[in-house]
Amino acid sequence: MTDLASVSAGEEATLLSLNNEHAVELSWLDAARLRHLLAEAFYARRVGNVAAFLLAFDQDADYDSPNYLWFRERYPRFVYVDRIVVAAAMRKRGLANRLYEDLFRAARVAGHERVVCEVNSDPPNPVSDAFHAALGFVEVGHAAIHGGAKTVRYLVRPLGPAP
């Protein structure tokens, strides 16, 4: 896994392309917004030449996502998974699991007790639902966002102590 703290122009273009191929699930980004997110991220890693990536924020990030703000209103400390995506040709190889396990380790080391995220319920995302359930995430709320265009389920996964 490679840190995304500083990416080349080519890597940025690849990240944007992969993200925007999945804009329905993730939300569309432009280059400036991506750079802002990378600068604010608690955790920003990729696998390979952007075969997969994960961006996550802690409670102190300068971030205006309604989903992130939902968690910030309810939890004093957390790590919020904003987006994880695996390129279609690279799926079913355990890349998302590797990214999440590394995130859980980093969050524990930093003293966090929970990792949080949301999954679309409308439009539905049954693959993400099953994946997050297998990782131990449980639902703690739901909301309609973007003027009702999307409905999400809010999920939390408690972390044990750092080894």
Q: Output the pLDDT for position 72.
A: 97
Report the pLDDT averaged over residues 40-59. Answer: 88
Report the pLDDT averaged over residues 51-62. Answer: 92
Computed over every residue of the chain, the mean pLDDT equals 87
Q: Output the pLDDT for position 53.
A: 85
Q: Smallest Cα–Cα separation from 107: which of 77, 145, 65, 73? A: 77
pLDDT in tens, 78-133: 999 998 888 778 888 889 999 999 999 999 999 999 999 999 888 888 888 999 99
Q: Output the pLDDT for position 104.
A: 97
Q: Output the pLDDT for position 64.
A: 92
> Three-class SS of residue 3?
strand
Q: Output the pLDDT for position 5.
A: 67
> Three-class SS of residue 56?
strand
Q: Output the pLDDT for position 47.
A: 84
Q: Output the pLDDT for position 15.
A: 79
Query: In this predicted model, which residue has the larger pLDDT, 111 or 2?
Result: 111
pTM for the structure as a whole: 0.89
> Three-class SS of residue 72?
helix
> Three-class SS of residue 156?
strand
Q: Which residues is 114 bridged to in the sheet?
A: 158
> Three-class SS of residue 142?
strand
Q: Would you state the torsion angle of the CA atoms of residues 54, 34, 109, 70, taken in this order, to the nearest 10 degrees?
A: -90
Q: Output the pLDDT for position 24.
A: 62
Q: Output the pLDDT for position 1.
A: 56
Q: CA 16, CA 29: separation in Å to the nearest integer?
A: 7
Of 23-32, 46-55, 85-94, 131-140, give the lowest mean pLDDT range: 23-32
Query: In this predicted model, which residue has the larger pLDDT, 32 or 76?
Result: 76
